[in-house]
Homo-oligomer: A and B are copies of this chain.
Amino acid sequence: MAPDDLFRPVQRQRTYEQVLSQIEEQILQGRLRAGDRLPGERQLAESLRVSRPAVREALRVLEAMGIVSAGTGSGPGSGSRVTGDGSPVLSTVLRLHVALSSFSQREVMEVRVQLERWAVREAARSLRPEQVQSLREVVARMRDQHITHSAFNELDTDFHVGMAQACGNALLGLLMQALRDAVHQEMTLTFQRLSDPRSTRDALVSQHAAILDAVEGSDGEEAARLVERHIVEFYESLESSRLEPGQPT
């Protein structure tokens, strides 16, 4: 019998990955919950019989995933704390993967259209007057001609994410934030290349106001139609500005 029939390659799981697996398993089993504190680095290393650098690497990964927040200092109260804020990591992951062309800006735009159509339909059913008012204030601030394109883009994000969050589905709010963040830098850059960014800004603000009118009037289908056109038209204007000859790239 050939050695290959007797032996299979040993699965090499690196030490920090084993630490990671153990902590993840505790969370998945519900034994570690949001707010709980992990043992300190040294104590974890002793319990798991691994080196402190291996523990630290695992903690870094969990921090990057928004699962734990870093502990500071030393002593019994110094361990990392289990949190549960997935927003930054989803944003970072999507942003880097857009940059690496794992998927395109168009694909991000298409997913946004679907989620935003849903968000405004829900909003038209359920938004309370004070939530509408708070979105109206975002639109009012977008009218300020003195703010930068980047600040304008952030308010734009506040409008779309605020609408999604108001619908009461935390995952929808999180995805919307991540999808917007993923294209923020590219959007701001492209904005500066538009031949008439001011008029584009005016158009976007009017469209926001119209979407909000439809939501306030409980007309979910109209709001969905408007938000789709709003997103697709803006995406297409960015695309065509990118293709215009003679523009700086």
- A residues lining the B interface (CB < 8 Å): 14, 16, 20, 24, 27-28, 30, 33-34, 53, 56-58, 60-61, 64-67, 70, 82-86, 89-90, 92-97, 99-104, 107-108, 110-111, 114-115, 118, 169-172, 174-175, 185
| Extra pairs beyond A57-B57, A86-B97, A107-B170 (19, CB < 8 Å) | A20-B64, A28-B96, A28-B99, A28-B185, A53-B56, A56-B57, A58-B60, A60-B61, A61-B64, A67-B96, A67-B97, A84-B96, A84-B102, A86-B93, A89-B89, A89-B93, A103-B174, A111-B171, A111-B175
B92 touches A90 (CB 8 A): no
Hey, which chain B residues are within 8 Å of A28, CB to CB?
A: 95-96, 99, 185
Tell me whether chain A's interface is mostly helix, strand or loop, or mixed. helix
CB < 8 Å neighbour of A90 from B67, B90, B170: B90
Quick one: closest B residue to A107, CB to CB? B171
CB distance from A94 to the nearest CB of B (A): 7
Quick one: closest B residue to A119, CB to CB? B114
B100 touches A84 (CB 8 A): yes
CB distance from A11 to the nearest CB of B (A): 14
A67 touches B100 (CB 8 A): yes
Hey, which chain B residues are within 8 Å of A14, CB to CB?
A: 70
B175 touches A102 (CB 8 A): no
Q: How far is the CA of A66 from the CA of B95 in the complex (A)?
A: 12
B169 touches A110 (CB 8 A): yes
Q: Which 4 A-B pairs have the closest CB atoms?
A: A84-B100, A61-B64, A103-B170, A103-B171
Quick one: closest B residue to A65, CB to CB? B93
